[in-house]
């Protein structure tokens, strides 16, 4: 967070809000992220992430545009592009070129805490963005949700505990992501999703994140009520990410068709 604040301060001096507003006026209309995740069946948000602080470089031959096109063609309902530069080796340029090359919605994944960053995301044609409840106050959650909706973007609000889930719902979140990874310990428990799904309203889109590697995991979570699944590291580490995604969707289909999403 400290690094992101310093980076944002530098970028904001170069691109003050009036400049971003002009860029947004020239951007293409946002795609409907909520609708993309609310389709019947298994909706995969495939994440483009070159590296992480805990695992180092995940993919040395990382090319965001090529990967994004391949994953969208393989059946991804949406893409998530990590844009944090210092620790994850991401960039806004990756998001811009990927979004221009695909037809599915593209989410900006970063540590976002200021409305200026939401305008920045829209200026490079992001269709949605991530909000991490654990790093935001109630006031920030509400403010950033409102900023996104002003720009036609519905954010993915990530939670890990019941308390964070209730805070997200009070703020009015419509897309709830349950992160199975504890950000303090890095332990991953799929049970976190099963524990929280009962408290996510049916009119919200429920997304399970982290630790999803098998079609059977997706089927169980879909049966429990999840509409979508964010998958990154297992795809990025696969020799052929698109083939891995097709295999994952095919494995799930062979184990039984998932139920249709409900309103």
Most confident of 37-41, 45-49, 55-59, 181-185: 45-49
Q: How confident is the model at residue 252, as a pLDDT? A: 61
Over pLDDT 90: what percentage of the chain? 79
What's the rounded mean pLDDT across residues 45-50? 97
pLDDT in tens, 81-109: 999 999 999 999 999 999 999 999 999 99
Specify the pairing of strand 51-52 against strand 56-57: antiparallel
Q: Enumerate long-range contacts of 159-166, CB under 8 Å, 24 or more apart.
A: 159/133, 159/134, 159/196, 160/133, 160/134, 160/192, 162/195, 162/196, 162/199, 164/133, 164/134, 165/133, 165/196, 165/199, 165/200, 166/199
Architecture of the domain defined by 2-254: Alpha-Beta Barrel (3.20)
For residues 129 and 33, give the distance between their C-alpha atoms in angstroms, rounded to a whole number: 10
Of 64, 222, 91, 199, nearest to 208 by C-alpha is 222
**pLDDT of residue 260 exceeding 70:** no
Enumerate the active-site residues. Answer: 47, 49, 109, 158, 179, 209-210
- Length of the chain (residues): 263
Say which range, 27-31, 40-44, 183-187, 192-196, has the weakest mean pLDDT.
183-187
pLDDT in tens, 127-173: 999 999 999 999 999 999 999 999 999 999 999 999 999 999 999 99
Q: What is the pTM of this model?
A: 0.91
What's the rounded mean pLDDT across residues 18-24? 95
Q: How confident is the model at residue 211, as a pLDDT? A: 82
* Contact in structure between 125 and 100 (CB atoms under 8 Å): yes
Q: How confident is the model at residue 263, as a pLDDT? A: 28
Q: How confident is the model at residue 258, as a pLDDT? A: 39
Average pLDDT, the chain: 92
For residues 140 and 115, give the distance between their C-alpha atoms in angstroms, rounded to a whole number: 9
């Amino acid at each position: 967070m400290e690094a992101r604040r310093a980076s944002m301060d530098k970028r904001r001096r170069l691109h003050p809000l009036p400049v971003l507003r002009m860029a947004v006026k020239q951007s293409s209309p946002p795609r409907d992220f909520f609708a993309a995740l609310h389709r019947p069946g298994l909706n995969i948000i495939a994440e483009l992430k070159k590296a992480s602080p805990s695992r180092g470089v995940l993919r040395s031959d990382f090319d965001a545009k090529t990967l994004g096109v391949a994953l969208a063609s393989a059946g991804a309902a949406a893409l998530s592009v990590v844009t944090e530069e210092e620790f994850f080796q991401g960039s806004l340029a990756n998001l811009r070129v990927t979004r221009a090359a695909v037809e599915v919605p593209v989410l900006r994944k970063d540590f976002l805490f200021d409305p200026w960053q939401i305008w920045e995301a829209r200026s490079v044609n992001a269709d949605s963005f991530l909000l991490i409840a654990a790093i935001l106050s109630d006031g920030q959650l509400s403010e950033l949700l409102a900023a996104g909706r002003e720009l036609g973007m519905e954010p993915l609000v990530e939670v890990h505990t019941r308390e964070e889930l209730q805070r997200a719902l009070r703020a009015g979140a419509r897309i709830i992501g349950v992160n199975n990874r504890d950000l303090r310990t890095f332990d991953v428990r799929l049970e976190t999703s099963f524990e929280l799904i009962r408290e996510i309203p049916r009119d919200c889109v429920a997304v399970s994140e982290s630790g999803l590697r098998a079609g059977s995991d997706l089927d169980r979570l879909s049966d429990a009520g999840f509409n979508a699944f964010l998958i990154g590291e297992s795809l990025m580490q696969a020799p052929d990410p698109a083939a891995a995604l097709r295999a994952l969707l095919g494995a799930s289909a062979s184990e039984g068709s998932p139920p249709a999403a409900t309103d």
